[in-house]
Amino acid sequence: MILTFYNTGSPSIKLNKELGSPVGSTNAAPNPTGDVDVINPVFVLNYNVPANANYVVAGAPLNRSYFITDPSYTIAKTCVVTCHVDVLGTNANKINNTTLNFIRGAEDINEIEDTSYPVADTLKPTLHYSFNNWDPSFFTNSDTGRRYLLRVADGRSASWESDLREL
């Protein structure tokens, strides 16, 4: 596998990192001492990794981007590079080619038109349906005079005639 080292000043939360020119490159065995942790790999290299390298792109079979968390230079020209996966950098192409639908708003409802996810619909002011032996005073708040309505919605459309009148 080929490891390409960079010195980037891009923050970790940036999707498309500005890598610039590589500061070094080397071949590495993906399994030098045992299983490879693809999230936090440790590369043992017979290569003197540049001291300013803080980012590495690993080729096949990993095909991931990593932040260098701890480079250690040991005896016999061996460098141990501990890394942590850059999830955004690794998946930047997938994220850039994805259509995202979202609704924004913290406290107030912002109605943004979105044909794949309706935010609101329009109801007639009052729909009244008569029920036998029904006492509508049960839903009346005596302090404010408000009435409460239970509305059930489903994905099917239906049409009917309704008796429109004030309660």
- CB-CB contact of 88 with 14 (8 Å): yes
Is residue 112 very low, low, confident or very high in pLDDT (cuts 50, 70, 90)?
low
pLDDT, position 76: 79
pTM for the complete prediction? 0.59
pLDDT, position 149: 57
pLDDT tens per residue across span 76-109: 778 889 999 999 999 999 989 988 766 554 555 5
Q: Whole-number mean pLDDT of the chain?
A: 76
